[in-house]
Structure 1
Amino acid sequence: MAERQFMPCRIAVLTVSDTRSLAQDRSGDMLVARLEAAGHILADRAITPDDRAGIGEHLTRWIATPEIDVILSTGGTGLTGRDVTVEAHRDVYEKEIDAFATMFTLVSMQKIGTSAVQSRACAGVAGGTYLFALPGSPSACRDAWDEILGPQLDYRHKPCNFVEIMPRLDEHLRRK
């Protein structure tokens, strides 16, 4: 059987922060470096404040952009009052990828022990686009990419991966 060829995804990176600029965005930089090193395409990058409606508007705009396959957000997944990224993500999801949160917790447990319980990382699908909400720390972004997202966004990964089902994510929208 012939080996599968790599298929690059077009990935947008959204940093959620009231205080960071692009020059200070170490988590966003980490994700961009990882996705580009893997052969994917940076489709867009932005920073938005910790505001549920604003985050949701940004996600919705990117979901509607055909040139974006995947959205990675970083920041706002904790427990404090300003942490509203998870709620904004869930406002736009058509389906949640529940196992992502579980997998992220398992990976985090290996690195930070029981402190992993404080993360609310989540993932879902909307409009044929994958969305992943990651914590704001560079190490958490690195762990999520290296242990979960990198392999799952690689068409060559077996036995299955996110890329191979990408063409069918919006099939319910095409039905008559």
Structure 2
Amino acid sequence: MSRIDETKDFIPVRIAVLTVSDSRGLEEDRSGAVLVGRIEAAGHVVADRKILRDERAEIAAQLNAWCDDPGIDVVISTGGTGLTGRDVTVEAHRDVYEKEIEAFGTVFTIVSMQKIGTSAVQSRATGGVARGTYLFALPGSPGACKDAWDEILAAQLDYRHMPCNFVEILPRLDEHRRRK
């Protein structure tokens, strides 16, 4: 089972939060607020936060901009992962990914099944890597954001988490770009 190795120092990561919504502004953005609260409580840095409409090209452009920003290690988006015609966040993420973290969606579904039963089948949560940056797309509900953070991301974004975590391999995500 997983554990925290207290002999290691905590390494904060810089995380950008993107809320995808046609109807919410910053004041109504409960899911983004949940993520920001948990990110800060864990000791990480909220490097940026934005709200964008459900427009695939705009979402992909923002994800690309953050992947090109050396001050951002992780991007977490919330919203637009459902099945309706306007839900295009997953497609925008996949437009940017160099590698998809297939197990992220699977583990998120397992966590969701314990909370909401078979309704979990309607989520298309996804994760991936692009240009040395982790990207995760979460559903737009505060509960889904809590579940993803508390049950998956809090541990995987903690360098002390054993037996392995995302932070320890962060410096190697773009090693193929440095090879000559």
Q: Give TM-score, length-normalised by structure 2.
A: 0.97
Task: Tell me which residue corresponds to 1:92.
Answer: 96
Task: Tell me which residue corresponds to 1:152.
Answer: 156
- 1:128-139 map, 5 Å: 128-139=132-143
- 1:81-120 map, 5 Å: 81-120=85-124
Task: Tell me which residue corresponds to 1:162.
Answer: 166
Where structure 2 has 5 or more consecutive residues not aligned to the other structure, the ranges are none
Q: Is structure 2 residue 54 aligned with structure 1 residue 28? A: no
| Percent of residue pairs identical | 73
Q: Is structure 2 residue 177 aligned with structure 1 residue 173? A: yes
Compared CA separation, residues 81 and 168, structure 1 to 2 (3 A): same
Q: Give the counterpart of 1:13 among 5, 17, 22.
A: 17
Task: Tell me which residue corresponds to 2:59.
Answer: 55
Q: Which amino acid aligns with 1:157?
A: H
Q: Give TM-score, length-normalised by structure 1.
A: 0.99
Q: Report if aligned partners of 2:6, 2:160 keep a CA contact under 8 Å in 1.
A: no
Q: What is the alpha-carbon distance in structure 2 between the residues aligned to residue 58 and residue 155 of structure 1?
A: 27
Where structure 1 has 5 or more consecutive residues not aligned to the other structure, the ranges are none
Across the aligned residues of Structure 1 and Structure 2, the Cα RMSD in angstroms comes to 0.9
Q: CA deviation at 1:91?
A: 0.2
Task: Tell me which residue corresponds to 1:73.
Answer: 77
Compared CA separation, residues 147 and 2, structure 1 to 2 (3 A): closer
Q: Which amino acid aligns with 2:122?
A: Q
Compared CA separation, residues 44 and 2, structure 1 to 2 (3 A): closer
**Which stretches of structure 1, 4 residues or more, deviate above 4 A after TM superposition?**
none
Q: Which amino acid aligns with 1:59?
A: L
Q: Which amino acid aligns with 2:123?
A: S
